[in-house]
Amino acid sequence: MSRQSLREAHQKIQELSWEPTFATPAKKYGTDYKFSKAGKKDPLKQMLRSYFPMEEEKDNRVYGAQDGAIRGNMFRQVQERWMEWQKLFLSIIPFPEISAARAMPLLFSTVPNQELHNGQAIQMIDEVRHSTIQQNLKRLYMNNYIDPAGFNSSLRNFHNDYCGTIGRQFGEGFITGDALTAASIYLTIVAETAFTNTLFVAMPAEAAANGDVLLPTVFHSVQSDESRHISNGYATLLMALQDEDNRELLERDLRYAFWNNHAVVDAAIGTFIEYGTKDRRKDRESYAEMWRRWIYDDYYRSYLMPLEKYGLTVPHEEVEEAWNRIWNKGYVHEVAQFFATGWLVNYWRIDPMTDEDFEWFEYKYPGWYAKYGEWWENYNRLATPNGHHPIAVEAALGNIDYQYPHRCWTCMVPCLIRQDTVHDKVDGQWRTYCSETCHWTDKYAFRPNYNGRETPNMGQLSGHREWETLYHNWELSDIVVDMGIVRDDGKTLTPQPHLDLDADKMWTVDHLRGLPFPSPNVSLNEMSDEEREEHMALYKQGGPGGRHAAAAAG
Amino acid sequence: MTTLEPTPAPQQRSVPKLSFTDAEAGAKTFPGSESRFFEYYKPKGRKRTHYEDVTIDVQPDPRHYLSQGWLYSFADGQAGYPLEWTVLKAWGEDTNTPPKRYAASGGQATADKVGWPATGWHEFRDPNEEWEQTIYRYNANVVRQMTQNIDNARETKAFAQWNPSWVRFVERHASAWMHPEHGLGLYVFVDANRAAPTNMHNNAISVNGMHRIRFAQDIAMYNMTLANEIEGFDGTAHREAWYQDPVWQGVREVAEHLTAISDWAEEVFCTNIVFEPLVGELFRTQLVMHSAPGNGDYVTPTVFSAGEYDYAQRDLRYTRAMFSLLTEDKEFAEHNKSIMQGWLSTWVPRCLDAARQLQPLWSQPEAKPPRFEDSLDAVKERFAGICRDLNLQPSKELGQ
């Protein structure tokens, strides 16, 4: 089709909609934003006559590549260290994808622009594509990779494991609450425009370096759709900016959404890229370098900051502090250490770091070894069962210097940068937060009024947000059975703190008997005021690398 | 005199090292090495299907594994995919309530205790087994074939064979059908894909939405081609007809009321079980496709039959499966049938009224289609058959 006829064709499909006079579509979802009818044009200009064949062609390439990878025995050269983390990643990601599909109707109810609804409908079916193509990739991994355990249980364990909720808010955040906050600002303006770059571009590159050519095949195909979705978000944002009353809400939502995306996505993807790789070339980009390029330069400087010409203040402090956390406060390293500490309640295996890894980390993040090196050496030493306990229990017994962290009530990543921890009694409960912004999100942003204005459509944070609460003082052996992370022999754990598949090197339920597991939040709420303040003061003095305050001081 | 710059030394390329890890399936035997299936759900049949593998449990459920519950709520406290978003009910939804979770309660996943599924809602499987590959293969084939048909008609001057009254009919009335397809696609089906309680429901509904939006665009593109090919063809007449022509106001009124329904199951039921056979098939098959050949037009039926196939062979198929589970539900069959009968009582008269307002169109083509009353009888019979399949009684409303 020529450009001229494309324009005519797109103009033609604008004739499809009409202004109803007998009844108007049900208004199922609400927003506190205000929109005038003067709207933006559909930025996608995508017609289904060309869309379906285009996607079919993209699919053919993906499935052709999958056939080729299987015939070429790709799994003889994939790194197990990498593949194990895919058990987590590919259990998380189909959910946000399908949630993005489900999010589109929220905008039908609230953004009065039928042209934009066309683009949102196409985004919906794109997202169905993404969710199922990613599930299919996981299925392929399960069928062809040496260790299917964890892939085969992924959608049970993702919904109940100790870091699943961290990933799940990057999905639930799209579909619930104020329609604009969820489906536009959190989903398209921040998640898709900023963080899909690290998810779907940076991560596949690392996969390829670890012998996996299929993650890039699938996710680059996905990303070529995401770039269209960004236009949907931008058009809605420009509409919102036309009403001055929306600015305060936009600023609230950009602040919340950027910080939450940072907390969640950087925790997960940062860990995959830095701790899931065997590629230790000194000239390959670290996650921090990628973040600086994709998020700081491409998104913050080129996309967010120009919005200020519309009178909006973008969340400078959050962006700078996110960078500060990644570069100076060891955010990704603290998270990876936490995941590895809790290896026994995950559903994948976590490979210990080696001398080569240490050297790379020290090169890329000077000072890394002093903070984390000893802990990883202990992790390696305690990897196979030999009369000792898992590292988390050894730490609880005082044999390893690591204080099991409090969870952040808002982002659910623990409060790992101990000095930034905030504690407060909110809704009658003592809660801990990883940062001032997460504290603000719970206490002030997700409330029915904000800065003195009514915000009756704003959502609420809900659920059992600290996983550890559910298993307070349970024995670890009972926890893993309850979670279903036991292999088909009925005793060997799905997770392991190493990659050795010899049965006598693998941990079993029996190794975990008699080991209780207390919830930090339950314990915090059981303390007297004095005990709690003393406990939190010491907690905030701890770190880096999870060290207790006394050791940090010493 | 020029001085040659020394050629810079080629930059050392850095590439990852290839290493052979022997990490393929079967390389070693160990606990769990043979468990190569998604063990968290029970298949409907003896074998797990590809469709089930890529669909089930992607949308979680607190009655099953979602031990920490939904992390965000709406302002009114509802979260996730509330069952209350339809008045229909499926077995287990009152008794298999989400387990109470609290400090030290454990996850209480129900799969091992009361068996999966947690409620009757989870039994639904889309008989079309729609997932990514089926969606794009099917729709790409449709648009390719349709484009070829129209291109061929243009090349062979097929539109010149149309009699003048048929040209007027297509520009004004056949083309007006793009509007209900589009409106219902967006504001019934795409809209409802947020609301149903399982991923199986919502994926099927979303695909239905795209069928309709595609078909609406197919008609629009066809209309644009005709405006370029047929002298005097008014490419905008369909809008005026849709907005103003009395014959279309009944259809427009019903379509708009369908989009105003807030219960997702009612939206889908009333559109696919009532509106489509009584109004959609009446217009598309009984009028447009039956009239066209006699008026020298062999092209329009190929465009319309694509949309008809979407509905008759795919969208109605999943709709029957979805609602027959509910009318045969072991706990709530009577409750559901009673509600659906109520919907029929409301929507059948509305749709029949809209259908009757279309009646003048039967006399417009020069070569006449079968009589309107015969056409209406045919779709009533078709509708009655669909109702009987669902164990519903259509007769009272059809007599009106």
Mean pLDDT of chain B: 94
Nearest of B72, B70, B43 to residue B55 by alpha carbon: B43
Of all residues in chain A, the percent with pLDDT exceeding 70 is: 98
Per-residue pLDDT for B11 more than 90?
Answer: no
Per-residue pLDDT for A2 more than 70?
Answer: no
Please check whether residue B102 lies inside any domain of the structure.
no
Per-residue pLDDT for B113 more than 80?
Answer: no
A458: chain B residues, CB-CB within 8 Å: 75
Q: What is the pLDDT of residue B111?
A: 53
Q: How far is B1 from chain A (nearest CA, A)?
A: 40
Residues 108-137 of B with CB under 8 A from A: 108-109, 111-112, 131-133, 135-137
Q: How far is B32 from chain A (nearest CA, A)?
A: 5
Does A211 sit within 8 Å of B18, measured CB to CB? yes
Average pLDDT of the segment spanning A362-374 = 98
Average pLDDT of the segment spanning A144-154 = 97
Q: What is the pLDDT of residue A542?
A: 97
d(CA A423, CA A139): 42
Does A75 sit within 8 Å of B25, measured CB to CB? yes
Per-residue pLDDT for B117 more than 90?
Answer: no
Provide CB contacts within 8 A for A224, sequence distance 6+. Answer: A58
The answer, for B225 touching chain A at a CB cutoff of 8 Å, is no
> Which residue in B has a C-alpha nearest to residue A494's C-alpha?
B32
The answer, for A482 touching chain B at a CB cutoff of 8 Å, is yes
Per-residue pLDDT for A554 more than 50?
Answer: no
Of all residues in chain A, the percent with pLDDT exceeding 90 is: 87
Residues 288-307 of A with CB under 8 A from B: none
Q: At what angle do helices B333-357 and B316-327 cross, to 10 degrees?
A: 140
Does A102 sit within 8 Å of B191, measured CB to CB? no
Residue B112: band (very low, low, confident or very high) from pLDDT cuts 50, 70, 90: low
The answer, for B396 touching chain A at a CB cutoff of 8 Å, is no
A173: chain B residues, CB-CB within 8 Å: 72
What are the DSSP calls for A129-161, one per residue? Answer: HHHHHHHHHHHHHHHHBS--TTTTTHHHHTTTS
Nearest of A520, A483, A546 to residue A346 by alpha carbon: A483
Pick among A45, A47, A52, A427 to test the B interface (most B CBs inside 10 A):
A52
Does A155 sit within 8 Å of B40, measured CB to CB? yes
Does A15 sit within 8 Å of B220, measured CB to CB? yes
Q: What is the pLDDT of residue A337?
A: 98
Pick among A16, A232, A498 to test the B interface (most B CBs inside 10 A):
A16
Residue A309: band (very low, low, confident or very high) from pLDDT cuts 50, 70, 90: very high
d(CA A223, CA B252): 39
**Residue owning tokens 């392991």:** A496
Please check whether residue B295 lies inside any domain of the structure.
yes
- Tell me if A120 sits within 8 A of A96, measured CB to CB: no
Per-residue pLDDT for B100 more than 90?
Answer: no
The answer, for B106 touching chain A at a CB cutoff of 8 Å, is yes
d(CA A266, CA A456): 31
Residue A115: band (very low, low, confident or very high) from pLDDT cuts 50, 70, 90: confident
- Tell me if B196 sits within 8 A of B190, measured CB to CB: no
Q: What is the pLDDT of residue A4?
A: 58
Pick among B132, B143, B233 to test the A interface (most A CBs inside 10 A):
B132
Q: What is the pLDDT of residue B141?
A: 97
More confident position, B129 or B14: B129
Does B261 sit within 8 Å of A149, measured CB to CB? no
Tell me the CA end-to-end span of chain A in Å, nearest whole number: 72
**Residue owning tokens 């629009």:** B220
Per-residue pLDDT for B321 more than 60?
Answer: yes
Q: What is the pLDDT of residue B6?
A: 65
> Which residue in B has a C-alpha nearest to residue A449's C-alpha?
B75
More confident position, A42 or A241: A241
Please check whether residue B326 lies inside any domain of the structure.
yes
Q: How far is A31 from chain B (nearest CA, A)?
A: 10
The answer, for B75 touching chain A at a CB cutoff of 8 Å, is yes
Does B71 sit within 8 Å of A169, measured CB to CB? yes
Please check whether residue B10 lies inside any domain of the structure.
no
Q: What is the pLDDT of residue B1?
A: 46
Please check whether residue B250 lies inside any domain of the structure.
yes
Does B209 sit within 8 Å of A503, measured CB to CB? no
Per-residue pLDDT for B114 more than 80?
Answer: no
CATH of the domain at B211: 1.10.620.20
Does B214 sit within 8 Å of A77, measured CB to CB? no
More confident position, B100 or B291: B291
Q: What is the pLDDT of residue B165?
A: 96
Per-residue pLDDT for A38 more than 80?
Answer: no
Per-residue pLDDT for A42 more than 80?
Answer: no
B16: chain A residues, CB-CB within 8 Å: 208-210, 279, 281, 284
Please check whether residue B34 lies inside any domain of the structure.
no
Provide the β-strand partners of residue A492. Answer: A508
Q: Which domains does chain A have, with CATH numbers?
A: 53-351 (1.10.620.20)
Does B20 sit within 8 Å of A121, measured CB to CB? no
Of all residues in chain B, the percent with pLDDT exceeding 70 is: 95
Residues 342-401 of A with CB under 8 A from B: none
State the complex-level ipTM: 0.95
**Residue owning tokens 């949907």:** A232
For residue B162, the enclosing domain spans 132-398
Please check whether residue B91 lies inside any domain of the structure.
no
d(CA A515, CA A536): 25
A425: its two tokens? 């009694």
- Tell me if B223 sits within 8 A of B200, measured CB to CB: no
A56: its two tokens? 């079919």
Q: How far is B328 from chain A (nearest CA, A)?
A: 28
Residue B342: band (very low, low, confident or very high) from pLDDT cuts 50, 70, 90: very high
Please check whether residue B302 lies inside any domain of the structure.
yes
Per-residue pLDDT for A205 more than 70?
Answer: yes
Count of structural domains, chain B = 1
Q: Indicate the helix (H) or strand (E) that contains A440.
A: helix A436-440
Does A473 sit within 8 Å of B40, measured CB to CB? no
Distances in Å between the Cα of A477 and the Cα atoms of A244, A302, A354, A397, A490 are: 57, 51, 29, 17, 12
Does A502 sit within 8 Å of B30, measured CB to CB? yes
More confident position, A69 or B116: A69
Q: How far is A303 from chain B (nearest CA, A)?
A: 28
d(CA A283, CA A323): 21
A24: chain B residues, CB-CB within 8 Å: 256, 259-260
Residues 193-212 of A with CB under 8 A from B: 208-211
Per-residue pLDDT for B123 more than 80?
Answer: yes
d(CA A273, CA A457): 38
Q: What is the pLDDT of residue A93?
A: 96
B399: its two tokens? 């007599």
Average pLDDT of the segment spanning B52-78 = 94
Does A159 sit within 8 Å of B66, measured CB to CB? yes
Q: What is the pLDDT of residue B10?
A: 67
Of all residues in chain B, the percent with pLDDT exceeding 90 is: 87
More confident position, A25 or B242: B242
Provide CB contacts within 8 A for B221, sequence distance 6+. Answer: A9, A12, A13, A47, A49
Average pLDDT of the segment spanning B103-125 = 79
Average pLDDT of the segment spanning A211-229 = 92
Provide the β-strand partners of residue A517. Answer: A474
Provide CB contacts within 8 A for A300, sequence distance 6+. Answer: A194, A314, A319
Q: How far is B243 from chain A (nearest CA, A)?
A: 8
The answer, for A72 touching chain B at a CB cutoff of 8 Å, is no
The shortest CB-CB distance from A124 to any of B60, B193, B238 is to: B193
Q: How far is A306 from chain B (nearest CA, A)?
A: 31
Question: For A441-489, how does the pLDDT look when each residue is reduced to its tens digit (9 = 90+)?
Answer: 999 999 999 999 999 999 999 999 999 999 999 999 999 999 999 999 9
Per-residue pLDDT for A98 more than 50?
Answer: yes
More confident position, A226 or B197: B197
Q: Which of A2-11, A537-546, B13-22 has the lowest mean pLDDT?
A: A2-11
Average pLDDT of the segment spanning B346-364 = 97
Residues 282-301 of B with CB under 8 A from A: none
Q: Which of A63-67, A290-294, B1-5, B61-65 has the lowest mean pLDDT?
A: B1-5
d(CA B17, CA B14): 9
The shortest CB-CB distance from A125 to any of B33, B41, B210 is to: B210
The shortest CB-CB distance from B71 to any of A132, A172, A489 is to: A172
> Which residue in B has a C-alpha nearest to residue A485's C-alpha?
B32
Provide CB contacts within 8 A for B326, sequence distance 6+. Answer: B88, B89, B90, B120, B265, B332, B333, B336, B340
The answer, for B191 touching chain A at a CB cutoff of 8 Å, is yes
A46: chain B residues, CB-CB within 8 Å: none
Mean pLDDT of chain A: 94
> Quick check: helix, strand or coil at residue A203?
helix
